[in-house]
Amino acid sequence: MTQSDRISFVNTVLKLLDRGQYSKNDQLSETVAAATSILSYVEPSLVLPFLASRFHMALETMTATHQLKTAVTSIAFAGRSLFFSSLSALPMDSSNVSGLNSYADLLMISLSNALLGMDANDPPKTLATMQLLGSLFSNMSTVDDNINEGSLIPSLRFSEWLDEFFCRLFSLLQHLEPSSVLNEGVSSPSSSGTFLVEDGPYYFCMLEILLGRLSDSLYKQALKKISKFVTTNILPGAIAEVGLLCCACVHSNPQEAVLQLIKPMLESVISSLKATPTTGFGCSANSNASSSKKEKATISPALETAIGYQLKVLSVAISYAGPALLHYREQFKEVIFSAFDSTSWKINGAGDHVLRSLLGSLVHYYPIDQYKCVMHHPFSASLENWIDTKDFSIDKPVIGPKWHVPVEDEIKFANELLKLHFESALDDLLTICQSKIHSDPGDEKDHLKVTLLRVDSSLQGVLSCLPDFSPSSENGMVKEASFSPFLIAGATGSRVGSSELRQKAANVIHETCKYLLKEKSDDSILLLLLIRVIDTLGNYGSSEYEEWSNHRQAWKLESTAIIEPPINFIVSSHSEGKRRPRWALIDKAYMHNTWRSSQSSFHLSRMSGNTFPSDQVTLLMDDLLCLSLHGYETVRRLAAKSILKMMKRWPSTISKCVLTLAEKFRNPSLPENVVLGSCAVLSSQTVLKRLTTDRKALSSFLLGILYSSHNESQKAQKAITELFVKYNIHFAGLSRSIFGGPSQADGTDFAGLVAEIGSMSFETSNLHWRYNLMANRVLLLLAMASRNDPNVPAKVLSEIAGHFLKNLKSQLPQSRLLAISALNTLLKESPHKISAENRVHGQGSLQADPKSSLEEALSSIFQEEGFFSDTLNSLSHVHIITDMDTGSSRGHYGSSSLQSFADKSITRFYFDFSASWPRTPSWISLFGSDTFYSNFARIFKRLIQECGMPVLLALKNALEEFVDAKERSKQCVAAEAFAGVLHSDVLGVSEAWDSWMMVQLQNIIHSPSVESIPEWAASIRYAATGKGKSGTRAPLLRHKVIDCLMKPLPQIVATSVVAKRYTFLSAILIEVSPVGMPESEILVHYNLLDELLSNMSHSSAQVREAIGVALSVLCSNLRLCASFGNAHSDESGASNADITPARSWDRYLVKRASELVTKIQNVSASEALEIPKEKLSENGMSSDHSKDDIKWMETLFHFIISSLKSGRSSVLLDVLVELLYPVISLQETSNKDLSNLAKAAFELLKWRVTREPHLRKAVSIILSLANDPNWRTRSATLTFLRSFMYRHDFILSNMDKQHIWLAVEKLLIDSQLEVREHAAAVLAGLMKGGDKDLVEDFRRRAYEQAAALIKKRKHRSTVSALPVASVHGSILALAACVLSVPYDMPSWLPEHVTLLARFVSEPSPLKSTVTKAIAEFRRTHADTWNVHKDSFTEEQLEVLADTSSSSSYFA
């Protein structure tokens, strides 16, 4: 793009951004901020002044406080482009923003306001402020007070700013309130739950960046303040926040921060813990076994809270300290020992955090000096150079990140801690479980809790640094020589401990689990701790995966603030990809390493079929399986989550688990909790996926569910139903291995499984109806999965299809619906259907004796006497018609009636497996609320295509009986069956049409019944639906049906029959594809068009509506056909001198409508005069001719409404634009029906977007209507203009906008008062979002004209000589200006509102306009009047006070 193109593009987009920037929709405002950021690199001279002015506006606003958050976000996103523009000395247009001379000033103001933005009572603004600070400091290579030529913000002293920043930050932390109550016991440090940690990563990120970029002197200054704050404050409500502040300090400079921060905290905690009572559980089991004899001492709540706070802050602070902690190893050992030895469970939990954090800090790999700037931008050394990962070259020097790699002393210290708190704790556990050293159950519980906590924290600290179990093979353990420790290179940290240690832990935990389930099965805290330990032991690498997964969610929300787009025109520096700060890329690399470490040995079983889990993993899984069936829901949930992770890693264990759990379902005395636990495990995607490949597990699963109906618990029954629904929804077929014969391994056979389930699916099986339904559904799923497999006998599928055909007349509504779904799926072969190729050669060229594999089984069923009669009667019961049905229930099978039979979840069994019908939108309102179910019609169609004419012969008598039935429900099912027959296209259907179907259709048309018209219209439409993938091939009988409908009706016939015929014709022509329409169909269109145009003045309103709908279908079809280049549809054959209505329908409609508008308006006007009553006929019309004119116009309005609702209005737009004139002109007439239709068309038209070349025509018609002699028409035009201008603001030319503005201005001095006031209201709306130049010009002229009137008021004679409308127009223009800015106070408003107030002494209606406008001004500015009144002078306030009786209000 050239520069002029870029400027044009940016100017266009800025109009949109201006509208959306301060939206209350967060997603929209953030998208606008991101777009502004990108455009600021493209054309900064346009975008940045816009950004600055909007930021300034947000700072000034008093009412729309949400703007400030958006404004701060916008500056954060555009921070880098502002720095570039500041350094490149790009001139700034400061005419709109006072006090800003450069972009550096804007940056300084934003940094200063960031201090004010940290507010504990306004989380969104505070987080936006944190994001802004992170964005700005990410750009600066270093933050110091040295002012030189390259300084980014030369006018700001950072030492002073830093002092103020920390004062504000500390105040914020002191006033934070947790959003939830602190969790008891073992909880993560972030459980303080304030918005700074929970609502985004901006807080910690900003601290890391800021402290990483500070110069040494400023860092020491900051560290001193932070150290003083941390040591003198206890803030239990902000544990994570204070901890992260300390963590950022330590990460930036570990040696200095550990000395200033960690050492004082350690000393304080040690001294506090010395004063607390102990249990003796922190060391070994035998050391203090007699302590139970003593009375348990307690600790004061205040001291407990203080110690817990200090320990948790310490745990977060040391996360990245590494070797700097080695100097204080003894102190740490003492702190951790004392914490576990305390009588307080809260302090025990805090000690757990310290131990796991210390171990992680010592042995894990993590980046150090991540936030230091090492790459300076070539444009300016004070700016950091960001990195494009796509622009990688070996030739360029790469400065990689520095990593913390544990030294020998760190590994030694970690092993020492493991010996103290892991091995020792395991020994303690074994001793407690085997020797029962405690006589007091309370002491035993406390000892178990602390010991399990020590094991858990040790494992959580080292994670996968403790080697995994060695996997086994079928012959025993895998040999070490051939065993590769990982498949993906990656490690969390240096190796500590050994695989044997993990094995020992697994054996001890297994013994502990057996003991707890036997002795302490009601203690949920112990069991939850146990599950966490088992999870960490057995799921090697899962903690790292969860950490990566949580971090990945943060990447999805990656802020635009740290992205520089590839295109940068500010410094002409373009790149191949997006550029990001170095610290962000290091963060991604760190997380990628975390992911690799989690996957290093995860896929061992998938790479080798001979690799199985070790014996210890099997023991742990057995323990978890027992725990997943526990009586407590929290225990079950956590155990299920853990066992599913194990099964995902070792898929070979799933089958055993399924067999164990599914067998339990058959037990009639099964406790409720066992069912709930089993369902929770079996409903996981991991298990359901495995069922597709394991026949024995699948058989056990399905039969287990179907045989579980004996359980009396409602909760258990609901869980089993939900499990089945989930299996049903996620069913994705079966592996081919399942369909083979019985194998030695499982002894089951697929055909045998189908037979067993089939025996349960009959209504005579004495099963509960819900389980009978499940059995039927399983049959369908198995049939779907196996129908194309050669190993499955054809007899199996034919028996299933026959079973579902019989179920069509089932007594259970649910079984009938399921049978419909099943038959639609199973009947697919269609051997009797005439193909498109065979039609060309005639219908007799089918293969000899076509036969379906299902035909024999199905024929014996449907040829039973009365089968179809019973089936149709049974299906008619699904069609429940009520007076309350107002919307279409198509496709839901009367679902409201099902709710009395079953849970809502059961209705999920009936989702469709085929494309929805109709293909084209259902917009014809005349059809009403039909209950035509296309799936029912599809059954009859496919049954005929599967078995041929015998079905039609068997169906004929039942169909004729139901067509003549009086009940609407029977008419509905007859319509569906008839639609299926007509659409079947089988050999012999044409002869059946000639012999009896045509007569039936004629009877349906001539029938006086009107209730079932919607269903029969849908039936006709279904019969005409196109064939083939794109639906363009006509069905065999479509032309015959059209010919039947085109036959003229008898001379004397009910109007409902006429309307019905037109409705049927509309329905069938909707389905005609305009692409390649044959000449015969085009001729039908024109013949029908002739008939419709001649009947537009029909006496029946019902017929007129049907004609309007049919017209819209016909005309849009012809237009679409012409647009595809069909020569037969050429409408321009007739000359202007000889316009035939059908061939030139568009010109005919427009011309006729224009003529009739004047006539109708004249009739309405004459009715207002006193005409003798004898000259008036019915409806107040003066002649029969005028009645016909009104009826014709009503039909035209039906045509307009139908066209706009159809979705095809784009091809009729030229006609619709021309018809704006009658629609707007006839809004108010003496005939209410006509006016109501005109208003309905008006509502649809005013929101329709009109593009060139029709837009110019629309504008000219609107402008002519604005000058219409009828004042009601002028007023309606103003109403239309409101929506029209809003919808076309971005596509109207400046010239058209000016003409519309002038037209509305002219109406300000209209002779009619209502029009003048309406014009003022419209102008106020236009000024809120209109073109700035037009708005400013109008505002200036309005003020000048009003001021001139005030001057002339001194000469009373001059003013009195002016027309009232002229003076009123000037006042209304001024009032429109005042009302265009509710809630705000721009600089021009005080003068305008004061000038308006000076007209208060004018006579009515001028005075009324002034008082109303001033009252509205007062109302909208009342909340902020204390601030806004400073914009007024004393004299102006006095003038305003004179307009109100309550003069003190504005004082």
Instruction: Write the DSSP assignment of 363-375 as a string of letters.
Output: HB-EEESTTS---
What pLDDT, in 10s, does the model give residues 255-293?
A: 999 999 999 999 999 999 988 888 877 664 444 444 443
CA distance 380 to 140: 10
Rounded-to-10 torsion of CA 611, 614, 617, 623: 120
Sequence-separated contacts (24+) of 566-572 with Cβ below 8 Å = 566/388, 567/41, 567/42, 568/41, 568/84, 569/6, 569/41, 569/42, 569/43, 569/44, 570/41, 570/44, 570/81, 570/84, 570/85, 570/88, 570/90, 571/84, 571/88, 571/379
Cβ neighbors of 308 (< 8 A, separation 6 or more) are 236, 344, 346, 347, 349, 350
pLDDT confidence of residue 791: 78
Greater confidence (398 vs 547) lies with: 547
Q: Which residue type sits at 1013?
A: I
Residue 392: C-alpha distances to residues 374, 388, 397, 584, 949 (Å)? 18, 8, 10, 17, 72
CA distance 264 to 310: 11
CA 45 to chain centre: 36
Greater confidence (1420 vs 149) lies with: 1420
Cβ neighbors of 596 (< 8 A, separation 6 or more) are 488, 489, 490
Residue 608 in tokens: 């080798």
What mean pLDDT do residues 133-153 have?
Answer: 79
Prior bond to 1405 cis, omega within 30? yes
> Do the Cβ atoms of 777 and 705 come closer than 8 Å?
no
CA distance 1263 to 1217: 13
pLDDT confidence of residue 155: 65
> Do the Cβ atoms of 615 and 418 come closer than 8 Å?
no
Helix, strand or coil, per DSSP, at residue 522: coil
CA distance 1082 to 1061: 19
What mean pLDDT do residues 967-980 have?
Answer: 92
pLDDT confidence of residue 780: 87
Residue 160 in tokens: 């002073």
Residue 393 reports pLDDT greater than 80: no
Please provide the distance, in angstroms rounded to a whole number, between the alpha carbons at the two ends of the chain.
58
Cβ neighbors of 1434 (< 8 A, separation 6 or more) are none
What mean pLDDT do residues 788-804 have?
Answer: 84
Helix, strand or coil, per DSSP, at residue 1424: coil
Per DSSP, 422 falls in state I
What pLDDT, in 10s, does the model give residues 448-467?
A: 999 999 999 999 999 999 99
pLDDT band at 1149 (very low <50, low <70, confident <90, very high): very high
pLDDT confidence of residue 289: 42
pLDDT above 90 coverage of the chain, percent: 45
Greater confidence (891 vs 1116) lies with: 1116
Question: Looking at 767-771, 892-896, 1064-1068, 1085-1089, which range is the least confident one?
Answer: 892-896
> Do the Cβ atoms of 944 and 850 come closer than 8 Å?
no
Question: Which residues on adjacent β-strands are paired with residue 477?
Answer: 472
CA distance 167 to 164: 5
Question: Looking at 97-111, 129-143, 449-463, 1372-1386, which range is the least confident one?
Answer: 97-111
> Do the Cβ atoms of 932 and 975 come closer than 8 Å?
yes
CA distance 1127 to 101: 67
> Do the Cβ atoms of 583 and 370 come closer than 8 Å?
yes
Residue 1040, classified by CB atoms within 10 Å of its CB into exposed (0-12), middle (13-18) or buried (19+), is: middle
User: How high is the mean pLDDT of the chain?
Assistant: 84
Q: Which residue type sits at 1030?
A: S
Q: What is the pTM of this model?
A: 0.78
Question: Which residues on adjacent β-strands are paired with residue 747?
Answer: none
Parallel, antiparallel or unpaired: strands 380-384 and 376-377: antiparallel
Residue 1012 reports pLDDT greater than 80: yes
Question: Which residues on adjacent β-strands are paired with residue 278?
Answer: 342
Residue 637: C-alpha distances to residues 545, 629, 673, 716, 1332 (Å)? 20, 9, 11, 16, 61
Residue 256: C-alpha distances to residues 144, 216, 250, 372, 742 (Å)? 19, 11, 8, 16, 73
CA distance 535 to 648: 13
CA distance 657 to 635: 18
Greater confidence (392 vs 987) lies with: 987
Helix intervals (H) in 632-731 = 633-649, 654-664, 672-682, 685-690, 695-706, 714-730
Question: Looking at 83-97, 211-225, 407-421, 1386-1400, which range is the least confident one?
Answer: 83-97
What mean pLDDT do residues 1311-1330 have?
Answer: 91
Per DSSP, 1269 falls in state S
